[in-house]
Chain A
Amino acid sequence: MNTSEYIESGILELYAIQGLTPAEMQEVEAMCAAHPEVRAELDAICASLEGLAEVGKLNPPPALKTRISSQLTFATEAPVHNILPGETRVVAMNSSMTPWYAVAASTMLLIASSGTAYHFYSKSQSSEQELLAIQTKNSVLADQYQNVQKASFEITEAMAIMERADAKVKLMPAKPEVTMSAMVYWDKANNKTYIDPASLAELEEGSQYQLWALVDGKPVDLGVIAVDFRNRPMYEMKGVEGAQAFAITIEPMGGSAGPTMEKLVVLGKVAV
């Protein structure tokens, strides 16, 4: 088959709409790699399907963006500081509630970094390379400082949530073979639900924990628990009213519309 016959066979269109088996897909990819004109044809087909998506645009509800970004892990963008000898640095703390150890740790980090900087700087003022090394080290320290600050802020937050919660519900194993537990903090007054997932087991790739409330005997989805749930002490979930119990199931990535009962791991009743 020559390339124009191949193009006219309709296989590229099927590839673009994903109507082929993996073996057929590989064949198309090989053809594309070997023949630029086949590749160009496939690109044009894909572009027309992109066009179809483009004309069918529909704005999602505005609140969805925040909800989605709360499920993602972002890189912390640490600023690179140039600390020169004699320079003093005033660091504003986030709030008066920052624990003393964060202040102490960060002060020590800053003293250490200034000291290191001065040592190197006076030793070889002319060497740009060494200055670069200092800057790198410094940005590492700045990173560490940010992490300490972030962790202390999260702990403070978590403590405030625990204090505000009207109901603290311990979720216990639903089956004998389950050995984990979790804690739900329910702030009824503000219609907020939080989870401390610390003792949940790691999940295999492609699965996610999902929190449910039982309201009048019916399950209500309170959202999936972030994949990196070990990184923070507390996660905010969807709010709920009138919950009698909370439960966690293991669901496919992104969660399910209804709980998969065979994958129920922990549950707990709200004390009346």
Chain B
Amino acid sequence: MSTRIQIQEPELVQQLQERSAKAFDMLYDSYSAALYGVIQRMVTDEELANDLLQEAFVKIWNNISQYDSGKGRLFTWMINLTRNLAIDKLRSRGHRNSQKNRSLDNAVNEVDSSLSTTFSVESIGLKKLVDGLKEDQRFIIELLYFKGYTQSEVAEEFDIPLGTVKTRVRMAVTELRKHFDLK
């Protein structure tokens, strides 16, 4: 995979910790499109997606000191942080839907965040890639990675043995790895 930023990660992290405006520019320009793509697959509402991207960058900015390079790359940390925010939002919205006859927020447009296996946004590359997965693998990745299900929730709700969930995740990720020419 190509390195997307001109400076090395440790240096970028250092500059982020120093709250340099230049570092924010670099971070945003390098990663915002990838993070936005992830968000758009998780929530369908554009305004919510915009808010989530904002929330993600604010959190990345404020919590950069919590990033531990010993556990993985910055990009992975950022993706996971972003996914977690979106997952929280999906869950809290579900929560709010269930008690909707209370207040002002009835009037606020609720997004249909219900489970959907159709992707709201698909680039050609992504479509090809995901099409390369078997249906059951695709389903598992979609649920766990993009909808924030836990493995036991998947097992329970879709009546799949826990061991099978694990196997499918492994096979799906293995399939994905073939596409990225990793050495």
Contact = CB atoms under 8 A, between A and B. Distances in A.
A227 B107 CA distance: 27
A77 B20 contact: yes
A50 B167 contact: no
Interface string B163-182: 00011011011001101101
A53 B34 contact: yes
Contacts of B85: 254
Given A64-B50, A258-B105, A261-B105, A51 B1 contact: yes
A53 B180 contact: no
B108 A60 contact: no
Contact of B53 (A17, A18, A64): A64
B150 to A, nearest CB: 6
A50 B75 contact: yes
A73 B19 contact: yes
A258 B47 CA distance: 13
Chain B interface residue number, banded: 35 or more
Nearest to A54: B34
Contacts of B80: 18
Contact of B123 (A29, A55, A255): A55
A68 B21 CA distance: 12
Nearest to A59: B33
B18 A75 contact: yes
Contacts of A258: 96, 104-105, 107-108
A11 B58 CA distance: 31
Interface string A236-260: 0000000000000000111111111
B169 A71 contact: no
B161 interface: no
Contact of B71 (A29, A56, A59, A261): A29
Interface stretch (A39-47, A100-108, A178-186, A192-200): A39-47
Contacts of A257: 48, 51, 93, 105, 108-111
B151 A19 contact: yes
A54 B57 CA distance: 17
B76 A50 contact: yes
A123 to B, nearest CB: 34
Contacts, number: 196
B58 A48 contact: no
A80 B74 CA distance: 31
B79 interface: yes
A227 B63 CA distance: 13
A32 to B, nearest CB: 8
Interface string A1-40: 0000000111101101111100000000100000000000
Nearest to A67: B54
Contact of B176 (A42, A49, A61): A49
Interface string A65-79: 101110111110100
Nearest to A65: B28
A50 B40 contact: no
Contacts of B139: none
Contacts of A254: 51-52, 54-55, 58-59, 85
B123 A74 contact: no
Contact of B33 (A46, A47, A58): A58
Contacts of A217: 107
Given A56-B121, A75-B21, A77-B20, 16 more contacts: A17-B173, A43-B73, A47-B73, A48-B180, A56-B126, A57-B36, A60-B49, A68-B28, A68-B53, A68-B54, A68-B58, A74-B24, A217-B107, A218-B104, A259-B103, A259-B105
Interface of B: 1, 18-21, 24, 28, 32-38, 40-41, 48-55, 57-59, 61-62, 71-73, 75-76, 79-80, 83-85, 88, 92-93, 96, 102-105, 107-111, 121-123, 125-126, 129, 141, 144-145, 149-151, 166-167, 169-170, 172-173, 176-177, 179-180, 182
18 contacts: A9-B170, A19-B151, A43-B72, A43-B73, A44-B182, A49-B145, A50-B1, A53-B38, A56-B122, A56-B123, A59-B33, A60-B32, A65-B28, A68-B54, A72-B58, A73-B19, A219-B107, A257-B109
